[in-house]
Amino acid sequence: MSTPTTLRVWESQAMVYRKIWRSHLLLAFGQPLLYLLAMGLGVGALIDDNTASVESLGGISYFEFLAPALLATTAMISAGQASLWEVLDGFLWSNRYRAMAATPLSPTQIATGLGLWHATRTAIGVTGVAVALALFADTRTWGVVAAVPVAVLCGLAFALPLSAWSATRYGGTSFPAIIRFGLLPMFLLGGAFFPIDQLPDWLEPVAQVTPLWHAIELCRGLVIESVDPGNVGVHLGVIAAYVLAGWLACRVTFTRRLMP
């Protein structure tokens, strides 16, 4: 599976990232900060005065409800961005992965190395969010540190299946739909901005099978230090299942694409 050569793929991606890290980090740090200020404090001020609302949030402030979820949503968005056009580029335009395939690297190693890179890139972005959370007293807990790897895993749960998909594409026509009808609804409705029991009955189970909701629940529990230990296994298990399935799919689609 992963010999040290796999890391060369990671190295190649890191070399490219070195040129854009500022804009990536600024986005990863700045965007959640904006949400925290606008939604967390602004909208929160309206909600927190309402007893019924506070009850439905589980007795915490809206800020405490929203802020930890941004770790998971940022991971999802950042990983999604890195897995669509950027991956297609490696097969279609820059042909980065084709160049790699002509070397001793195998398609599986290329896919695995890319997965490791996705994890790293997501970790960088999520750390930006963690720093933003640490700016506010309500969310300055050690749980933030524990939530970072959960968010990274969440990123992989999107990055690997989407990379597998991109490896089968000959153009990006499906990508805007994936974002508009996949990632964006999850971001808005997946439990970050309000509890999913507010969703229509038929939509709630849908939210519950997304890796995002499980990651949000876990991150929130960790940050506000009220994790239900019984649920940790389920949450991690669902997210890990997406990661594993995505990696297996990547192995297949990368091999098919690179060694026809």
Partner 1 sequence: MHGNWRWPASLPCRTVATVPPSIITARDLRKQFGDFVAVDGIDFEVEPGESFGFLGPNGAGKTSTMRMVGCVSPITSGQLRIFDLDAASDGAAIRARMGVVPQADQLDAELTVVENLVIYGRYFDIPRAECRRRAAELLEFVQLTERADERVDPLSGGMKRRLTIARSLMSEPDLLLLDEPTTGLDPQARHILWDRLYRLKQRGVTLVLTTHYMDEAEQLCDRLVVMDQGCIVAEGSPRGLIDQYATREVLELRFVTGDVGDHDAAPAVDIAGIGDRSETLPDRTLIYAHDGEAALAEVHRRGLDPVGSLVRRSSLEDVFLRLTGRTLVD
Between 73 and 108, whose beta carbon lies closer to partner 1? 108
Least spacing, CB of residue 110 vs partner 1, in Å: 10
Rounded Cα distance, 254 and 242, in Å: 18
Least spacing, CB of residue 85 vs partner 1, in Å: 13
Does 96 help bind partner 1 (rule: CB under 8 A)?
yes
Does 256 help bind partner 1 (rule: CB under 8 A)?
no
> Alpha carbon of 225 to those of 85, 139, 145, 215, 218: distances in Å?
38, 10, 12, 15, 10
Between 62 and 97, whose beta carbon lies closer to partner 1? 97
Between 167 and 258, whose beta carbon lies closer to partner 1? 258
Per-residue tokens: 43: 């909208």
Does 114 help bind partner 1 (rule: CB under 8 A)?
no
Least spacing, CB of residue 174 vs partner 1, in Å: 24
Does 174 help bind partner 1 (rule: CB under 8 A)?
no
Does 2 help bind partner 1 (rule: CB under 8 A)?
no
Does 11 help bind partner 1 (rule: CB under 8 A)?
yes
Q: What percent of the residues of the chain are helix, what percent strand, and what percent coil, each to the nearest 5? A: 80, 0, 20
Question: Going residue by residue from 36 to 55, which x/- string records binding to partner 1, judged by CB under 8 A?
Answer: --------------------
Rounded to 10 deg, the angle between the 6-17 and 107-134 helix axes is 50
Site for partner 1 in 126-165 (CB under 8 A): none
96 three-class SS: helix
Least spacing, CB of residue 117 vs partner 1, in Å: 13
Residues in the interface with partner 1 (CB under 8 A) total 24
| Owner of token pair 């409800």 | 65
Least spacing, CB of residue 16 vs partner 1, in Å: 5
Nearest to 115 by CA among 244, 15, 259, 256: 244
Rounded Cα distance, 223 and 117, in Å: 26
Tell me which of 2, 50, 94, 231 binds partner 1, using CB under 8 A: 94
Between 4 and 171, whose beta carbon lies closer to partner 1? 4
Does 105 help bind partner 1 (rule: CB under 8 A)?
yes
Amino acid at 106: S
Rounded Cα distance, 93 and 96, in Å: 8
Between 212 and 250, whose beta carbon lies closer to partner 1? 250
DSSP class of residue 93 equals: T
Q: DSSP per residue over 155-222, as a string? A: HHHHHHHHHHHHTT-SSSTTHHHHIIIIIHHHHHHSSSSS-GGGS-TTTHHHHHTSHHHHHHHHHHHH
Applying CB under 8 A, which part among 15-23, 27-35, 36-44, 138-146 lies near partner 1?
15-23
Does 106 help bind partner 1 (rule: CB under 8 A)?
yes
